[in-house]
Structure 1
Amino acid sequence: MNGLDAESVGKAVAAARPDVIVHQMTGISRVHAGKPDTKHWDRYFATTNRLRTEGTDHLLAAARATGVGHVVAQSYAGWNGVHEGGWVKTEQDPLYQGTGTTFSTSADAICHLEDVVVRAGGVALRYGALYGPGASDDQVELLRRRQYPLVGSGEGYMSWVHLDDAASATVLVVEQRARGVFNIVDDEPAPAREWLPYLAASAGMRPPLRVPGWLARLLAGDVPVSMMTEGRGFSNARAKRELGWALRYPSWRAGFREGLQ
C-alpha cells in the first residue's frame, strides 16, 4: 500500500481486517531518502514526517471505517527530550521542539502523531535510537569513514534500544491493548562522550575524531550539534512497571558488543 494515499490505505486495512494496526511507516531507508543528510534534516526526513502526519491520519480513518479498536504508532525518544532541566526525561516531560532548527518539522510531526493516536485511544511508542542488525549499518559506515565525530563536550544524552527489545515491547503493547505514551528505551541513557567511543570500539573502529561545535554546525548542520551537546535521554520506568517489559539488552554497552551483528 501507499501510506500517503488515503484510498490505498483504506483498501489495505479493509482487506486485512486486522484486530490491531501497528504503524511503523518511515521513509528513511536509502531507497526512499538516499544517504543520511544531517545538514538538511528537514529534507531528509520529509517523507517520514508526511507518514507521521498524513499517513497516521489515513490509518486512523481506516481504523474507524473498519472498526479496528486499537492503533499502535512509532514515535521517537532518542535525544529529543526538552533541552532544559535534568538529563533524563519521563513521558510527562515535554519534547524538544527544535524551534529555529531543521529539526522543527520532525518535532511537529512527532507531536501530531502522538496527539491524534492517543486521542483515538491508541498508544505511541517512543523508541530510542534503534541499533542491531540492519539498524546500525549507516552509523558503523560513518565511523569507518571517520565521518562520525564527537562534537564539542559530548555531554548531550542519548537513549538507545536494541531492535529485539523494541519488538518485544511492541508485542506487549498489542497483547495488553495499552494506551497512552511509553518510552521504549534501555536502562542507561548516556552522554555522547561515553557511547560514541564505545560504539566505535565495539565495531572494531578507531576512536572517533573530536570537532568543535562551530565546525560541526558548518559541516553537518544544527541537529548533530544539538544532539551531542544538549540532547536529553529518557526513562523506561513506566514501560517496565506497567507493561512488565524485560529487556534482553538493558544497556547499550552489552548491546553494542553483542548485538551489532
Structure 2
Amino acid sequence: METLEHEHIIHYTSDDHLVWAELYEINNQNMMKYACKDYIKGFNDLKIPTFKIPTFYELNTILSTCSTWTIVPVSGYLASEDFFKLINRRKFPITQRIRSKNEIEFSELPDIFHDIMGHVPMLNSDVHNLFSKTISDIALQNLDNPIILEKLSNLYWYTFETGLVKENGEIKIFGGAILTSSNEVNNVFKEDTTILPFDAELIMSSSFDNLNVQSTYFILESFDQLSDACKKLSIIYSNSATK
C-alpha cells in the first residue's frame, strides 16, 4: 500500500470529528483503567486532542520533544516488508481514514484513531524501541524469506496489537488493537477468554485474525520477558543469517 511522502491534507467532516470525540470518550475510560504504565505515561506526554482529529504536524511537533520517532501517513494496509522498513527508521505509519459511526465499538480496518491512540503513546517506551529495532533488523535481513516475515508479523500482532502484561499482579493492556476497541477490552476480561503465557516460539507459529475479536491472547510476566525474548531472537536470527 502506498506510503505518502508528505501529509495529504484530508478535510475531515464535522461528523468525522464527532466520531473521534466519541471514540476518545469511550476508550479513554478503558485506557486509564486497563492500560499499562508505559502507555499511560506516553499518553499523558502527548496531550492528544479530545474533540478533533489531530494533524500529523501537531503530533510530530509534540513527538519531537519527547521521542525519536515521527509518524507518517499511509493510505491503508502496508505489506509487512514496508512496515518493517519504516519502523527500522523510527517512522510509524498512520492510516488517515477515520472509521464510521457504526464501527465505534470495533473496526475491521485500520483507521487514524486506532493508529494514533493505540500505538503512538507507546513509541517512546524502552521496550517498544528495543522490540521495533529487533524485529525490523531481522526482517531487513530476511526480506526474501516470507516465512520469517510472517513469523515476525505474528509476533508483532500478539504483542503490540493484542498484547497483555502483568503489573502488580493485575492484567494490563499494551496492545493497540485492544485499547482502541471496547469490544476487545470487554473480551479480555470475560471468564472464558483464553489467555496464555507469553511464548515467543509459539506466538511466531500462530496465525491471527485481524477482522474479528480475538479468541486467544498472550500475557507477559513483565516487559523484561519481552526484552529477553528480543535478545534471544537477535542471536538466533543473526546466526541463521550468516549461514
- Kindly indicate which of the two structures has a greater share of residues assigned to helix: 2
Q: Which has the larger radius of gyration?
A: 1
Provide the TM-score with structure 2 as the length reference.
0.27
Provide the TM-score with structure 1 as the length reference.
0.26
More relative contact order, 1 or 2 (CA 8 Å, 6+ apart): 1
